[in-house]
Structure 1
Amino acid sequence: MSNEDDPQPPSRNDQVAALRPTYQADLADGLDRFFEPRRETCPWCDSPRLKTRLRTKDLIQHKPGTFVLDRCEDCRHTFQNPRLSPAGLEFYYRDFYDGLGEKQLGNTFAARTKMYEQRAESLLPHSPTPKNWLDVGTGHGHFCESARTVYPDTTFDGLDFTDGAELAEQAGRVERGYRGSFPELAPGLSGHYDVVSMFHYLEHSTEPERELAAAHQAVRPGGHLLIEVPDPDSRYSRLLGRWWLPWLQPQHLHFIPVANLRRRLTDLGFTVVAEQHAEPHDPVDLLAGTWLALDTAAPRDNLPWLPKPPSGLARTGRAAVLIAGIPALLLGTFLDRFVVKRLSHRLRVSNAYRLVARRD
């Protein structure tokens, strides 16, 4: 029974108002400090043959800034250029997975039980009874909680550079939650795990090659590494352009073609035993693209990185745009789930790929 004297949590508008002075102070000196110097060579193969693939805005949080993705003309690696600096990473991640965004994102991740179970099941043909498993980029540990139904005798640990790993341990979703950088923590985990998984983690990494080397260190010989990342060769990446959700700027820093990742894993001493495209496809592209376009066209919501709250007229206009877009959202949902999903690999629109690799 609740106590009438218990303080009520602050409303969202109150939270935004409390955060606005800090954000305005952060923005007072401009955005330059949020970016590193522009690269002149590919971070994957060091080729100087770069071509701009996309210019876009922050279409999710609507924080200020323009973000550029370049593609290497030799190895086809796509990367953010200029890349976010440490200050930029802190600024653009803030209130996405935590703070203002924590509840909404937590509910979204918690509702994806079936997808998490399917990810775990992809390892069954190669390792049906792993003793222990480290999920890197675990967030709040929802994957580990779901994967335990597939592997009830496996011990799941989680690692994340946010406090999500610690919260996952407190909630009992992981046995041990490590907070910090995987490459820095890997020496203390050397040869400890039967399985290391990285689901939609490498694209967030500033140096994905160091993360792969850390995985090789943490997986014991004969153990397995599972990787799932956005597929930059998806036809949707071209057809939808800036409205393709997996671009997720400015958070996603690297987009690795599957052939590049296979070669790098082989060089490290892994053998790729499975490659999947249809299975990891998340049927949301048309729905998400429509939502991003509507959300960009509509007047902004109350956000602390804007200098003041929107007027009543602006809020009414936003509601009108979103209501008018409902038929398009419903059509996108129908096409995603009932038309494109079963043909995603044949049409080459799968938005992700998954590799299973065994450490030799």
Structure 2
Amino acid sequence: MSDEIQPTVPADDAEPADRAARIAALRPCYRADLADGVERFFEPRRTTCPWCGSDQLVARLRTGDLLQHKPGDFGLDRCAECGHTFQNPRLNEAGLEFYYRDFYDGLGEQRMGGTFGGRTKMYRGRAEAMLRYDPTPKNWLDVGTGHGHFCEAAREVLPGTAFDGLDFTDGVALAEREGRVEHGFRGAFPDLAPDLAAHYDVVSMFHYLEHSTDPDRELRAAHEVVRPGGHLLIEVPDPESRYARLLGRWWLPWLQPQHLHFVPVANLRRRLTEVGFSVVGEQHAQPHDPVDLLAAVWLALDHAAPREDAPWLAEPPGAFRRALRSGVFLAGVPALVAGTLVDRFAVRPLSHWLRLSNAYRLVARRD
């Protein structure tokens, strides 16, 4: 869960027969889940900000699930006092299970594993961000490790460091089986923190905090697990990016309905200080992932095209709809190429100066 998603154009006609059979087998379960609608997946709507308690809330965005296309509408509100943006109403436990199901695990495991596995350069850059502050950490816990690809790549940067991973999905067990992490812990980080107290030189949270139901509790768990003098490394989407306004619902880091909280950097710096950390490093240009325009074009094409088969659809698409879907993406290839070129060669060198960076990174030392 620790990585942002990069879209890849699906090849519907190339889906293996076993995937179609798995989808057919799952369809009755999804049909039962949706029989009473999706309203049961949400908590009551909040009237105050979960970060500062203010009642000065304004609507920021409404969108659907633009990646899996599971049914449901999702809203993001922004606090006019502190700038915190959050999902409102928020998914409850049943909703989180429903919308995460078959995304990172199950049907989505192979696709997500391929997406995350090809990002070694980015993972190395994340590990290198710690060299200035602790070039020889003995052990490192990656919270929200997913399939453990960061730990595998980071070992090349820090060969003397033992990497463990923690996640609440099946991916962490896969990461341990594949040798990407030495120990894989499955469960909620705050619940596991007492057993790991003061055990790690470094704890990392790469694109994890925005998924959590209670970011403050996660930060306090990190303070418990990091040794005195050790470090916490956090990377999250930047809700103050100009792309967030310019691209609207097509800005990939909104990632509804999975992303529950978007914390402005000033808010996170203050909260880290309050829980017992000193912020020693802040980066904006380095964690920027140059995919915003490519992803926006892809999401728009995917939204316009007929759906590919999925178990939450009433029935699989026919040959005509599959052909039409392929045609939409084929027609969109020039726009996808243009988006890629602008992302990588025009925007990336100037992303921080133009305030277009889509993420920021903080390094904090436990006092």
Aligned to 1:153: 160
Aligned to 2:236: 229
* One-letter code aligned to 2:359: A
d(CA) in 1 for partners of 2:173, 2:312: 28
Secondary structure of residue in 2 paired with 1:16: helix
Secondary structure of residue in 2 paired with 1:37: coil
Contact 2:105/2:170 (CA < 8 Å) preserved in 1? no
Question: What's the C-alpha RMSD, in Å, of the aligned pairs?
Answer: 0.8
Note if 1:349 corresponds to 2:356. Answer: yes
- CA apart distance, 1:10: 5.4
Secondary structure of residue in 2 paired with 1:152: coil
Secondary structure of residue in 2 paired with 1:109: helix
Note if 1:210 corresponds to 2:200. Answer: no
Note if 1:109 corresponds to 2:130. Answer: no
Aligned to 2:310: 303
* One-letter code aligned to 2:154: A
Residues 335-346 of structure 1: pairs in structure 2 closer than 5 A: 335-346=342-353
Secondary structure of residue in 1 paired with 2:90: coil
Note if 1:359 corresponds to 2:362. Answer: no
Aligned to 1:87: 94
Q: Deviations over 1:92-128 (max 9, x none)?
A: 0000001111101000111000000000000000000
Gaps of 5+ in 2: 1-15
TM-score between both structures, scaled by the size of structure 2: 0.95
- CA apart distance, 1:311: 2.1
Q: Deviations over 1:258-308 (max 9, x none)?
A: 000000000111111110000000000000000000000001111110101
Aligned sequence identity (%): 73
Secondary structure of residue in 2 paired with 1:41: coil
Aligned to 2:265: 258
d(CA) in 1 for partners of 2:366, 2:251: 34
d(CA) in 1 for partners of 2:74, 2:178: 36
d(CA) in 2 for partners of 1:324, 1:164: 35
Residues 26-175 of structure 1: pairs in structure 2 closer than 5 A: 26-175=33-182
Aligned length: 352
Gaps of 5+ in 1: 1-8
- CA apart distance, 1:42: 0.3
d(CA) in 2 for partners of 1:87, 1:252: 16
TM-score between both structures, scaled by the size of structure 1: 0.97
d(CA) in 2 for partners of 1:26, 1:10: 25
- CA apart distance, 1:189: 0.7
d(CA) in 1 for partners of 2:59, 2:112: 31
Task: Find the partner of 2:199 among 192, 197, 216.
Answer: 192
Structure 1 residue runs of 4+, over 3 Å off?
none
